[in-house]
Structure 1
Amino acid sequence: MADHLLEVRDLSVEFHTAVGVVKAVRNISYHLDRGETLAILGESGSGKSVSSSAIMNLIDMPPGRISSGEILLDGVDLLPMPAQERRKVNGRRIAMIFQDPLSHLNPVYTVGWQIREALTTHGTDAAKAASEALRLLTRVGIPDPERSLDKYPHEFSGGQRQRVMIAMALALRPDLLIADEPTTALDVTVQAEVLALLEELQRETGMAVLIITHDLGVVAEIADRVVVMEKGVLVEAGTVREVYKNPQHPYTKKLIAAAPGKGEMHVPAARAEPVLSVRDVRKRYGSFEALKGLSFDLMPGETMAVVGESGSGKSTLARILLRLDEPDSGSALWKGRDLFTMSPTELYKLRRDLQMVFQDPTQSLNPRMTVYQLISEAWVIHSDILPKAKWRERVADLLVQVGLGPEHMGRYPHQFSGGQRQRIAIARALALEPQLIICDEAVSALDVSVQAQVIALLDRLRKEMGIAFIFIAHDLPVVRDFADHVMVMQKGNIVELGTVREVFDAPQQDYTRALLAAGLDPDPDVQAAHRAARLQRAS
């Protein structure tokens, strides 16, 4: 037997591009044992996903090339293995779940068909595959699994789709599961459920887990050891507690310092005349009542955070306030004028004051437009804002503000990571210097240091320009650092509304307390105490 289940030795990966060779991974080495969880921690562009793709043989070659190294599974090097042999390894010995399950599940086949295909491809007969697919959906907690087998991916919530991906990955009982940012876009309670599910399945099967993340809280919750990557290089490795409590590398120290939830809470200014006054807003989709009479006020330069699980009505509220959907009843007074009764001409003039950053930049950014075109499009529509001669300079300034650079202007959205695309979407919203920005999970996919940078930028704009924010988020530590007031939503209702200190320090509702308890702390000792308390409550 080999010393380790997985051993990566001196792995280097490079990509040949129009501007030269990009060395994405440079001579990294690490190992993983059976029953162990290893986290690869780093920001976008650090090479963590590329290195895991190399393990699964998922790098497009060309333009990619594994220029050096070995990837040993039970002592056998996977890199020179013939394609026919490698197909027997992927799925059966090594499986992978991805960050965005909607992009990796086939939209034209039912989830039952897709799980059965994973089994029959590796020799399982059809009858056994059918019963196993039902067992797997039941095991990962999908409601009504018999009927769910015949549903399509779009019919599930984000958390449920991730559970379906886990079911597919575990179909052949692999020795190693690679999880690439499996909880990034999930609500805190769903995130906790998915991580708990992975831990349960690991105990049952004895599989090793390689989890790729930029979230220190996820590392503290689930990992035994952690390796830290920066710009393709492995800069630090050790147990989770060693690395967090006594980091040696400046980059690791920077990541830990950027973790949200440790700063001073905002003390809101005295409330005066609201810039936005929402009263009794209701919205129904068929028999489903998405909003059940919401009322709140937003002051100029104030940040109102909206938190709650998927299906609570957060995004519906955002779309209605921007008239992307129409309400059934209620009013929303913007500086005394009802947004819901404005004509299209009046709304057109108001669009420059009200902007939105959507949750998924892949869908909100036009794939045929360059970054320069995407950001400057605002000035094409509202031509009185900025002379064309100054567009390029202003685009460059906005890109720098959100952590990118002028050299990115000529690229297209698909040439960026998910976090980088979200930065472009934020720069696009800032181009019109609006008075209200609605952020729908705008920083959930960002690395911790970039997240801290963008939050600091938004906070500075709030102070300097008086911009108000409606900040929809599932990341409670970010809410704690950024918000003035917090609105907690559940099933279309506002169940709690107060200052950030009131809600975080003295929550009044059980639902709010459950949300806060599900949050992850980057300190492994604190998170261990939270986990013990959670288990005690459950028992």
Structure 2
Amino acid sequence: MADHLLEVRNLSVEFHTAGGVVKAVKNVSWHVERGETLAILGESGSGKSVSTSAILDLIDMPPGRITSGEIRFDGRDLLKLGSAERRDINGRRIAMIFQDPLSHLNPVYTVGWQIVETMTAHGLPRSKAQSEALRLVTRVGIPNPSDALRKYPHEFSGGQRQRLMIAMALAMKPDVLIADEPTTALDVTVQAEVLALLKELQRETGMGVVIITHDLGVVAEIADRVVVMNAGEIVEAGIAREVYHNPRHPYTRKLIGAAPGKGEMHDPLPRAEPVLKVRGVAKTYGTFKALDGVGFDLMAGETLAIVGESGSGKSTLARILLRLDEPDAGEALWKGRDLFRLSPAELFALRRDLQMVFQDPTQSLNPRMTVFQLITEAWIIHPEILPKAQWRTRVADLLAQVGLRPEHANRYPHQFSGGQRQRIAIARALALEPELIICDEAVSALDVSVQAQVIELLNKLRREMGIAFIFIAHDLPVVRDFADHVMVMQKGRVVEYGTVQQVFDAPRQPYTQALLAAGLDPDPDVQAARRAERLERRPA
């Protein structure tokens, strides 16, 4: 039998930690062919990223150790090659798109320099590399590509940074592309564009694609075959459509059953006196109008979802409501008091009532503090909440609520996956028992089962404690399951507002209709029909 393009055979990886040996990957085997897309599906900590990191020699050893297995590519076992041979293959023959492009793009160099450097490191002349960089940036859809090459990573949106990572990964026309959660934090329209771009580039080059994901919609849209991992082991594998419709393993059935967007929508609460009234909020940065007269009402125990593409003003609004940025105009009345006119002392007194879970937990969690310290810091600042003798018990309870274990309290943020770090951030916000939580893409990086668990937790807090939520999200099925009202924003303005049923069942604005049409369904058959419909609508 001919060799597969890339094959992992009986791979086992373990990590030696202060708490003992962690067996992250156990006897895993899979392969991908030329022109094929293999999805590796599973929750945080299942071993997805570790198994693919071994391919590119990205596991720190120690504390990591590969205890068994082979990784066969081009007739050779990569694990037996020297460092120089691995470097020659990495980036040139096998490339990777990482989950968080901002963390993997160097902030002190222009993106053009970084793309060019990828090629010159593998022997391409600089003049040819520069012209190829321009072609690549144009190909992945970056506006004004000549100017873009002279910009720095922070000057691009999240979706644009992900496109630049794709351009860099494709610079040497690799045989295999590994994409680690490439669309996790992207808006639905940008996600659809990035996935379509990957498929189009795959058709052009014939590369094999390995996509690591926890999103069943991504699997339905792009995968030919799927491997399901749990606790470091493969529990199911097969054709994507067959695995979805006839899952054999209980874990696979649990993942499919947890997919959002299939349950009952919330009945709107009876209208009462709002706890938060926002009117005419405006904010301009230089000549860019980030917010233009935004207003809404929010009642106790209600969830308002704010949706829209990157740059629509969602996160700017959230930061202004918490006075992390100052507005140019408008008012935000919290129980009759204007948040924008409170003194620092008055604002401090309200801080425990108004909490935020940020989009990027890597940036919002102090890397020098343990999880226990991160959560209990709130009780140091607000000592009236909980006696110190009860801290450890309460931390364990909070971690359990968000799907983590009590022993995780002694670890640091870098020792967790992206989804696990977001759970820590949610637990930290809940520690203050707030009346309003602003969630800025708070569940976008979570696995479907944990996402369902966290949404149920938030629903429970809303019912039992009357907590209100402002829920900024691009994951429309989650919005459908969790929200009472939906506010659609575009270019700093509110373009549509209504109950979740009104907006999802009868969207009035073309922009809202486009957002809904770009969403991914976990059913491969449904997604195939949507793709066919998009192709029919595409102009000739």
1:40 and 2:57 correspond: no
**Could you say which residue in structure 1 is the equivalent of 2:295?**
295
For residues 415-494 of structure 1, the aligned pairs below 5 Å read 415-494=415-494
**Residue by residue, what CA displacement relative to the aligned partner does 1:90-128 show, whole Å, maximum 9, x if unpaired?**
111111110001111111111111111111111111111
Task: State how far apart, in whole Å, the 2-side matches of 1:86 and 1:279 are.
Answer: 58
Secondary structure at 2:80 match in 1: coil
Q: Which amino acid is the alignment partner of residue 50 of structure 1?
A: V
Give the superposition deviation at 1:393: 1.2
Alignment of 1:63-102 (within 5 A): 63-102=63-102
Counterpart for residue 406 of structure 1:
406
CA distance in 1, matches of 2:269, 2:446: 29
Q: How far is 1:322 from its partner? A: 0.7
User: Could you say which residue in structure 2 is the equivalent of 1:211?
Assistant: 211
How far apart, in 2, do the equivalents of 1:78 and 1:431 lie?
47
Alignment of 1:129-528 (within 5 A): 129-528=129-528
Counterpart AA for 1:185: A
The one-letter code matched in structure 1 to 2:394 is R
CA distance in 1, matches of 2:378, 2:61: 38
Q: Structure 2: how far apart are the matches of 1:336 and 1:251?
A: 49
Paired with 1:283 and 1:277, the residues of 2 have a C-alpha distance of 17
Using the alignment, how far apart are the partners of 1:334 and 1:225 within structure 2?
Answer: 51
CA distance in 2, matches of 1:420, 1:249: 24
How big is each residue's C-alpha offset from its partner over 1:296-337, in whole Å with a ceiling of 9 and x where there is no partner?
100110000000000000001001111111111111111111
- Tell me if structure 2 keeps the 8 A contact 1:217–1:523: yes
Cα distance between partner residues in 1 of 2:350 and 2:499:
29
Deviation per CA, 1:183-235, whole angstroms, max 9, x where unpaired? 00111111011000000000000111000000000000000000000011011
Could you list the per-position Cα deviations for residues 440-483 of structure 1 after superposition, in whole angstroms to 9, with x for gaps in the alignment?
00000111100000000000000000000000000000000000
Deviation at residue 367 of structure 1 after TM alignment: 1.3
Per-residue CA deviations over 1:495-515 (Å, capped at 9, x if unaligned) read 000000000000000000000
Secondary structure (helix, strand or coil) at the match of 1:347 reads: helix
C-alpha offsets along residues 252-302 of structure 1, whole Å, 9 cap, x if unaligned?
Answer: 000000110001000011111111111111111111111100111001100
Q: In the aligned structure 2, how far is the partner of 1:85 from the partner of 1:346?
A: 62
How big is the shift at 1:368? 1.5
Partners of 1:220 and 1:398 lie apart in 2 by: 34
Task: Please tell me the residue identity of whatever aligns with 2:405.
Answer: G
* Amino acid across the alignment from 1:339: L
- The whole-number CA distance in structure 2 between the counterparts of 1:248 and 1:75 is 33
Contact in 2 for aligned 1:2/1:75 (Cα 8 Å):
no
Displacement after TM superposition at 1:89 (Å):
1.1
Give me the CA root mean square deviation: 0.9
Distance 1:397 1:90 in 2: 43
Structure 1 partner of 2:114: 114
The alpha-carbon deviation at position 3 of structure 1 amounts to 3.2
Q: Structure 2 unaligned segments of length 5 or more: list them.
A: none
- Matched to 2:212, the amino acid is I
Measured after TM superposition, the shift of residue 415 of structure 1 is 1.3
* Counterpart-to-counterpart distance in 1, 2:76 and 2:284: 58
Choose 4-13 or 482-491, whichever is displaced more. Answer: 4-13
1:536 counterpart SS class: helix
Task: Kindly provide the CA deviation profile for residues 128-157 of structure 1, in whole angstroms up to 9, marking residues without a partner as x.
Answer: 111111111111111111111111111111
Measure the CA separation in 2 of the matches of 1:370 and 1:82: 37
Amino acid at match of 2:221: E
Q: Deviations over 1:35-87 (max 9, x none)?
A: 00000000111001001011111111111111111111132211101222222
1:63 partner amino acid: P
Distance 1:21 1:388 in 2: 32
CA separation in 2, counterparts of 1:75 and 1:8? 12
SS of 1:55's equivalent? coil
The 3-state SS of whatever aligns with 1:446 is coil
2: distance between equivalents of 1:348 and 1:207?
Answer: 55
Aligned sequence identity (%): 81
Deviates more, 1:203-212 or 1:365-374: 365-374
Aligned position for 1:59: 59
TM-score, structure 2 as length reference: 0.99
Partner amino acid, structure 1, of 2:519:
G
Deviation, 1:30, is 1.1
Structure 1 position 370, deviation (Å): 1.4
1:21, CA displacement in angstroms? 1.4
Task: Give secondary structure in 2 for the equivalent of 1:151.
Answer: coil
Residues 268 and 484, structure 1, Cα contact 8 Å, conserved in 2 = yes
Give 1:2 deviation, angstroms: 3.1
Measure the CA separation in 2 of the matches of 1:13 and 1:410.
23
Name the CA distance, whole Å, in 2 between partners of 1:87 and 1:382.
51
How far apart, CA to CA, are the structure 2 residues paired with 1:296 and 1:432? 25
Structure 2 Cα separation of the partners of residues 19 and 297 of structure 1:
49
The count of residues paired between Structure 1 and Structure 2 equals 539
Q: Gaps spanning 5+ residues in structure 1: where?
A: none
Separation in structure 2 between the aligned mates of residue 216 and residue 81 of structure 1, nearest angstrom: 35
SS at match of 1:61: coil
Other structure's SS at 2:325 match = coil
What letter corresponds to residue 32 of structure 1 in structure 2?
A: V
Residue aligned with 2:368, SS? coil
Q: Distance in 1 between matches of 2:191 and 2:201?
A: 15
| Structure 2 Cα separation of the partners of residues 178 and 316 of structure 1 | 33
SS of equivalent residue, structure 1 residue 279: strand
